[in-house]
Amino acid sequence: MKELEVILDKNGLIVAFLFVGLLTWATDVFSKKALNGRIPGSALAIGLALVLGYFGGLFGEGEQGLADLSYFKGLSTLGGSMFRDFAIVATATGASFVLIRKSGMLGLVSLALGIGLFFAFGVAIGWLMGYRDAVSLCTIGAGACTYIVGPITGGALGASSEIIALSIGTGVVKAIAVTMLTPVLAKWIGLNSPAAAMAYGGIMGTTSGVAAGLAATDPSLVPYGAVTATFYTGLGCLICPSLFYLILSTILG
């Protein structure tokens, strides 16, 4: 047994392949046999992975969910931003450049709308919870955009580490909420075309949430959602600590 433990520990990424493969296989079977395919297997696998991530955090006491447990540490490599972005780019082979260009304007509008909406709502909730200073409110609003915009904005404005942690938490909750709600609400909002996916990606913004949500809804829409969502974090990092902070500190006097 000792030998196996050493092997598992040394080959984390390979263990992650096996783990994700088994999880996908089990959820595919469950989706087909027990649910008649009403919920896609990949949606179940993503949901189950989030639950496992919760328990991983509970027992591992780290910041990377299930990957905090030493046998599963390869999951943070496989699911890290390098492989994630690389695979998202690869999905572009299934996209049409003509369609992306045609909906470019819609994508731009939705980006501006999305960042403004999440920031304003985040600030409003921060205000209701008793925060009154522009730096804290701005950091919380930025966290409501994505869990990367939050800490970058907080860092730029000199927010306290407690507020920065709060903004990261807010962003992660958002990513999870988008992941879980997208397959449920996709039909209701009319998320069924490349143009719709581009608008959706621009408004939701959180690349992890958009990527996972679309994967669970309709994988062929992933490249269209990703192509706009990828600009969201960058634009958020640009606007939140500058323009939005100025507006906010002017309003608050």
Partner 1 sequence: MIKGLALLAACFLLGMWCGAILGTWLGIDANVGGVGFAMVFLLLSKEYVTNKGWWNGEFGFGLEFWNKLYIPIVIAMSASLNVKSAVSSGVLALLAGTLPVLLAFGVVKILLKQVNPEK
Ranges within 94-133 binding partner 1 (CB under 8 A): 94-95, 97, 100, 106, 109-110, 113-114, 117-118, 121-122, 125-126, 129
Token representation of residue 193: 């075309």
d(CA 225, CA 223): 6
Judged by DSSP in three states, 124 sits in: helix
CB of 2 to partner 1, least distance (A): 26
How many residues of this chain interact with partner 1, rule: CB under 8 A? 107
Q: Does 252 bind partner 1 (CB under 8 A)?
A: no
CB of 85 to partner 1, least distance (A): 5
The residue from 8, 39, 50, 108 that contacts partner 1 (CB under 8 A) is 50
Distance, CA of 121 to chain centre: 18
Contact 226, 212 (CB under 8 A): no
Q: Does 16 bind partner 1 (CB under 8 A)?
A: yes
Q: Which is nearer to partner 1, 3 or 61 (CB)?
A: 61
The residue from 8, 26, 39, 52 that contacts partner 1 (CB under 8 A) is 52
DSSP result, 176-223 = HHHHHHHHHHHHHHT--SHHHHHHHHHHH--HHHHHHHHHHH-GGGHH
CB of 56 to partner 1, least distance (A): 7
What backbone phi and psi angles, to 5 degrees, belong to 137?
-60, -40
Q: Does 29 bind partner 1 (CB under 8 A)?
A: no
Count of Cβ atoms closer than 10 Å to residue 112 Cβ: 13
Q: Does 225 bind partner 1 (CB under 8 A)?
A: no
Contact 127, 144 (CB under 8 A): no
Q: Does 231 bind partner 1 (CB under 8 A)?
A: yes
For partner 1, the binding residues in 139-168 under the rule CB under 8 A are 140, 143-144, 148, 152, 165-166
